[in-house]
Protein backbone atom coordinates (compact mmCIF):
# COMPACT_ATOMS: atom_id res chain seq x y z
CA UNK A 1 0.00 0.00 0.00
CA UNK A 2 2.76 2.31 0.87
CA UNK A 3 4.11 1.98 -2.60
CA UNK A 4 0.83 3.08 -4.11
CA UNK A 5 0.72 6.19 -1.96
CA UNK A 6 4.13 7.22 -3.14
CA UNK A 7 3.06 7.05 -6.73
CA UNK A 8 -0.01 9.21 -6.33
CA UNK A 9 2.08 11.92 -4.79
CA UNK A 10 4.04 12.53 -7.96
CA UNK A 11 2.01 14.77 -10.22
CA UNK A 12 2.53 14.27 -13.93
CA UNK A 13 1.87 17.14 -16.30
CA UNK A 14 2.26 16.91 -20.02
CA UNK A 15 4.19 19.79 -21.40
CA UNK A 16 2.20 21.77 -23.93
CA UNK A 17 5.05 24.05 -24.83
CA UNK A 18 5.60 22.29 -28.17
CA UNK A 19 1.96 22.43 -29.16
CA UNK A 20 2.31 25.74 -31.03
CA UNK A 21 5.22 24.28 -32.97
CA UNK A 22 3.19 21.30 -34.07
CA UNK A 23 0.28 23.48 -35.07
CA UNK A 24 2.56 25.85 -36.96
CA UNK A 25 4.03 22.93 -38.83
CA UNK A 26 0.58 21.83 -39.93
CA UNK A 27 -0.27 25.42 -40.74
CA UNK A 28 2.72 25.81 -43.03
CA UNK A 29 1.87 22.55 -44.78
CA UNK A 30 -1.62 23.74 -45.61
CA UNK A 31 -0.40 27.22 -46.54
CA UNK A 32 1.97 25.72 -49.06
CA UNK A 33 -0.52 23.29 -50.57
CA UNK A 34 -3.40 25.75 -50.76
CA UNK A 35 -4.30 26.98 -54.19
CA UNK A 36 -6.64 29.89 -53.92
CA UNK A 37 -9.35 29.61 -56.52
CA UNK A 38 -8.51 32.50 -58.75
CA UNK A 39 -11.62 32.37 -60.84
CA UNK A 40 -15.30 31.97 -60.25
CA UNK A 41 -16.92 29.06 -61.95
CA UNK A 42 -19.76 30.19 -64.15
CA UNK A 43 -20.79 26.69 -65.20
CA UNK A 44 -21.85 23.57 -63.36
CA UNK A 45 -18.99 21.24 -62.51
CA UNK A 46 -19.80 17.70 -61.50
CA UNK A 47 -16.93 15.75 -62.96
CA UNK A 48 -17.55 12.18 -64.14
CA UNK A 49 -15.74 9.24 -62.60
CA UNK A 50 -13.19 7.07 -64.34
CA UNK A 51 -10.62 4.51 -63.32
CA UNK A 52 -7.69 4.95 -65.72
CA UNK A 53 -6.51 8.35 -64.57
CA UNK A 54 -3.06 9.63 -65.34
CA UNK A 55 -1.09 12.39 -63.76
CA UNK A 56 0.87 14.78 -65.88
CA UNK A 57 4.49 15.47 -65.17
CA UNK A 58 4.41 19.20 -65.83
CA UNK A 59 1.57 21.18 -64.38
CA UNK A 60 2.54 24.43 -66.05
CA UNK A 61 1.59 23.00 -69.42
CA UNK A 62 -2.05 22.52 -68.47
CA UNK A 63 -4.75 25.01 -69.39
CA UNK A 64 -8.31 24.50 -68.31
CA UNK A 65 -11.55 24.69 -70.23
CA UNK A 66 -14.74 24.33 -68.23
CA UNK A 67 -17.84 23.07 -70.00
CA UNK A 68 -21.27 22.76 -68.47
CA UNK A 69 -24.65 24.32 -68.01
CA UNK A 70 -24.43 27.93 -66.84
CA UNK A 71 -25.03 28.46 -63.15
CA UNK A 72 -27.00 31.58 -63.93
CA UNK A 73 -29.56 30.40 -66.49
CA UNK A 74 -31.37 33.74 -66.44
CA UNK A 75 -28.30 35.44 -67.86
CA UNK A 76 -26.68 32.77 -70.00
CA UNK A 77 -29.46 30.28 -70.88
CA UNK A 78 -29.56 26.55 -70.19
CA UNK A 79 -27.44 25.24 -73.07
CA UNK A 80 -23.94 24.04 -72.08
CA UNK A 81 -21.35 26.79 -72.41
CA UNK A 82 -17.56 26.93 -72.42
CA UNK A 83 -15.66 28.89 -69.81
CA UNK A 84 -12.06 29.90 -70.35
CA UNK A 85 -10.32 31.91 -67.65
CA UNK A 86 -13.28 33.76 -66.17
CA UNK A 87 -15.49 34.43 -69.15
CA UNK A 88 -17.88 32.34 -71.20
CA UNK A 89 -16.71 31.99 -74.77
CA UNK A 90 -18.03 30.56 -78.01
CA UNK A 91 -16.38 27.61 -79.74
CA UNK A 92 -15.09 29.95 -82.45
CA UNK A 93 -13.03 31.84 -79.85
CA UNK A 94 -11.10 28.75 -78.77
CA UNK A 95 -8.35 29.11 -81.38
CA UNK A 96 -7.61 32.62 -80.15
CA UNK A 97 -7.66 31.49 -76.53
CA UNK A 98 -5.28 28.59 -77.22
CA UNK A 99 -2.85 30.96 -78.92
CA UNK A 100 -2.93 33.25 -75.91
CA UNK A 101 -2.24 30.33 -73.61
CA UNK A 102 0.59 29.18 -75.85
CA UNK A 103 2.16 32.64 -75.75
CA UNK A 104 2.46 32.32 -72.00
CA UNK A 105 4.68 29.26 -72.38
CA UNK A 106 8.29 29.18 -73.45
CA UNK A 107 8.90 28.42 -77.10
CA UNK A 108 10.15 24.90 -76.58
CA UNK A 109 7.08 23.93 -74.58
CA UNK A 110 4.41 25.33 -76.86
CA UNK A 111 3.75 22.09 -78.68
CA UNK A 112 3.35 20.25 -75.41
CA UNK A 113 0.41 22.32 -74.21
CA UNK A 114 -2.29 20.18 -72.69
CA UNK A 115 -5.89 21.26 -72.47
CA UNK A 116 -7.73 19.85 -69.50
CA UNK A 117 -11.41 19.57 -70.34
CA UNK A 118 -13.41 19.86 -67.15
CA UNK A 119 -16.77 18.75 -68.41
CA UNK A 120 -19.93 18.37 -66.39
CA UNK A 121 -21.31 14.85 -66.60
CA UNK A 122 -24.67 16.04 -67.93
CA UNK A 123 -23.17 17.50 -71.10
CA UNK A 124 -23.79 15.73 -74.40
CA UNK A 125 -21.10 14.84 -76.93
CA UNK A 126 -22.20 17.50 -79.43
CA UNK A 127 -20.57 20.52 -77.77
CA UNK A 128 -17.54 18.45 -76.81
CA UNK A 129 -16.86 17.37 -80.36
CA UNK A 130 -17.16 21.02 -81.43
CA UNK A 131 -14.53 21.94 -78.85
CA UNK A 132 -12.28 19.10 -79.95
CA UNK A 133 -12.60 20.20 -83.57
CA UNK A 134 -11.52 23.73 -82.62
CA UNK A 135 -8.61 22.38 -80.57
CA UNK A 136 -7.44 20.45 -83.61
CA UNK A 137 -7.62 23.66 -85.62
CA UNK A 138 -5.57 25.41 -82.94
CA UNK A 139 -3.05 22.56 -82.94
CA UNK A 140 -3.45 21.86 -79.24
CA UNK A 141 -3.96 18.16 -79.61
CA UNK A 142 -3.08 16.87 -76.18
CA UNK A 143 -6.23 16.87 -74.12
CA UNK A 144 -7.04 15.55 -70.70
CA UNK A 145 -10.56 14.55 -69.76
CA UNK A 146 -10.52 15.64 -66.14
CA UNK A 147 -12.33 13.14 -63.96
CA UNK A 148 -12.47 11.82 -60.45
CA UNK A 149 -11.03 8.54 -59.31
CA UNK A 150 -13.64 5.83 -59.33
CA UNK A 151 -13.85 3.95 -56.09
CA UNK A 152 -12.99 0.31 -56.76
CA UNK A 153 -16.02 -1.94 -56.91
Partner 1 sequence: MASRMKKEAPEIPAGSMADIAFLLLIFFLVTTTIASDKGILNILPPKQDPNVPPPDIQVNERNIFNILINANDQLLVEGEFRDNTEGLTEDIKAFILNFGAPTEDAQALYNGLPATLKALAERSPESSDHPMTGGAVVSIKTNRGTSYETYLEVFDLVKKAYFEIYGERVGLTADEYRALVGENPGEAELIDRGKADIPMAISIAEPDKIGGE
Q: How many Å apart are CA 138 and CA 79, to the nearest integer?
A: 24
31 lies in the site for partner 1, by CB under 8 A: yes
Q: How far is the CB of 28 from partner 1 (least distance, A)?
A: 9
144 half-sphere exposure, CB direction, 13 A CA radius: 21
Q: Which stretch binds partner 1 (CB under 8 A): 6-14, 81-89, 105-113, 127-135?
A: 127-135
What mask of x and - would describe binding to partner 1 in positions 11 to 30, judged by CB under 8 A?
-----x--xx--xx-xx--x
55 lies in the site for partner 1, by CB under 8 A: yes
Radius of gyration of the chain from its Cα atoms, rounded to whole angstroms: 25
Q: How far is the CB of 94 from partner 1 (least distance, A)?
A: 13
Select from 12, 35, 75, 108 the one that contacts partner 1 (CB under 8 A).
Answer: 35
121 lies in the site for partner 1, by CB under 8 A: yes
Nearer to partner 1, 1 or 14 (CB): 14
Q: Which stretch binds partner 1 (CB under 8 A): 1-9, 85-93, 104-112, 137-145?
A: 137-145
Name the residue among 42, 66, 52, 79 with its Cα closest to residue 115: 66
Q: How many Å apart are CA 61 and CA 141, to the nearest integer?
A: 13
Q: How far is the CB of 49 from partner 1 (least distance, A)?
A: 8
Q: How many Å apart are CA 142 and CA 98, to the nearest integer?
A: 12
Select from 11, 54, 106, 151 the one that contacts partner 1 (CB under 8 A).
Answer: 54
112 lies in the site for partner 1, by CB under 8 A: no
Q: How many Å apart are CA 103 and CA 115, to the nearest integer?
A: 14
Cβ within 8 Å of residue 50, ≥6 positions away: 145, 147, 148, 149, 150
Amino acid sequence: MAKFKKKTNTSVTISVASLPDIVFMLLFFFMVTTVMREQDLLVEQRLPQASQLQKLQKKTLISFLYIGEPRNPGLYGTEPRIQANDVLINPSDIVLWVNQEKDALSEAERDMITISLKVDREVKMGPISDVQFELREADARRILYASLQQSPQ
